[in-house]
């Protein structure tokens, strides 16, 4: 199996994702430049965090028109696994590969801290090594991480088990105080209707070694590896 990490102008978590896949999970991985038009040689494509094109227009709005995104859409339509992390999540929403939008944090401030996440779906390709209700400790780093969607979309997400992760306290309680950015229903990660495209604001690639403060992110990334295997 092979992973591809897309590099947009402004990506700053591409090397983190590359390191986590190559050095921690020991899987083949390559960088994919944003001007590429074919990603068929990969089994999973990662859209990493960062500030694609400086977020000068709107987070993910310019990157959504990069040539590689047409290839990503075709890849996803064929059933390929795609995960967008932080800015990658924003790009997937802008590209309509995932529903909803990421708005400015309700604090109007950049939030960079470890948060607790409750696993809501333990059967997806991205979380099947977790157990439902398990609390993960993974960091966030964003200014526009407030997930928003219409009431009808939220109901569809909830009814079809498409919410992967919710912000919670250390005991797994989903509360307003545990929500770092004001996301609707404390949503931190979702999947598409077919279950092969995921988006999440927390950074699993930054929680893969004890030296970093947590290894909970490995559960997300290794879930992908084992599902592909």
Local structure of 135: helix, strand or coil: strand
Cα 53 to Cα 60: distance, rounded to the nearest angstrom: 8
For 3-228, CATH gives: 3.40.50.880
Every domain of the chain and the residues it spans: 3-228
Cα 41 to Cα 3: distance, rounded to the nearest angstrom: 9
Query: What pLDDT score was predicted for residue 62?
Result: 86
Tokens describing residue 110: 């950049």
Cα 109 to Cα 174: distance, rounded to the nearest angstrom: 22
Cα 45 to Cα 25: distance, rounded to the nearest angstrom: 15
User: Which residues have a Cβ under 8 Å from the Cβ of 117 and sit 6 or more positions away?
Assistant: 135, 136, 137, 138, 165, 166, 167, 168, 188, 189, 202
Q: What is the pLDDT of residues 149-197, one digit of tens each?
A: 999 999 999 999 999 999 999 999 999 999 999 999 999 999 999 999 9
Asked if 86 is an active-site residue, the reply is yes
Q: Which of 86, 93, 146, 168 is catalytic?
A: 86
Q: What is the pLDDT of residues 99-153, one digit of tens each?
A: 999 999 999 999 999 999 999 999 999 999 999 999 999 999 999 999 999 999 9
Tokens describing residue 41: 């040689």
Asked if 205 is an active-site residue, the reply is yes
Q: Which of 116, 142, 143, 203 is catalytic?
A: 203
Mean pLDDT over the full length of the chain: 96
Strand partners, 187: 166
Asked if 44 is an active-site residue, the reply is no
Q: Which of 94, 146, 149, 205 is catalytic?
A: 205
């Amino acid at each position: 199996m092979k992973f591809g990490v897309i590099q947009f102008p402004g990506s700053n978590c591409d090397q983190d994702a590359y390191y986590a896949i190559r050095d921690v999970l020991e899987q083949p991985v390559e960088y994919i430049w944003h001007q590429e038009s074919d990603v068929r040689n990969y089994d999973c494509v990662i859209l990493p965090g960062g500030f694609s094109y400086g977020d000068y227009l709107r987070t993910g709005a310019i990157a959504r028109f990069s040539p590689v995104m047409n290839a990503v859409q075709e890849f996803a339509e064929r059933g390929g696994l795609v995960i967008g992390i932080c800015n990658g999540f924003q790009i997937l929403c802008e590209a309509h590969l995932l529903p909803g939008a990421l708005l400015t944090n309700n604090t109007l401030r950049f939030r960079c801290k470890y948060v607790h996440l409750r696993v809501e779906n333990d059967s997806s390709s991205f979380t099947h090594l977790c157990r439902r209700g398990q609390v993960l400790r993974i960091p966030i780093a964003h200014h526009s991480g407030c997930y928003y969607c219409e009431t009808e979309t939220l109901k569809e997400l909830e009814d079809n088990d498409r919410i992967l992760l919710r912000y919670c306290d250390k005991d797994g309680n989903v509360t307003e105080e545990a929500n770092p950015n004001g996301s609707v229903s404390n949503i931190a990660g979702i999947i598409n209707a077919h279950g092969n495209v995921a988006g999440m604001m927390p950074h699993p690639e930054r929680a893969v070694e004890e030296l970093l403060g947590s290894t909970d992110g490995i559960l997300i990334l290794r879930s992908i590896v084992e599902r592909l295997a």
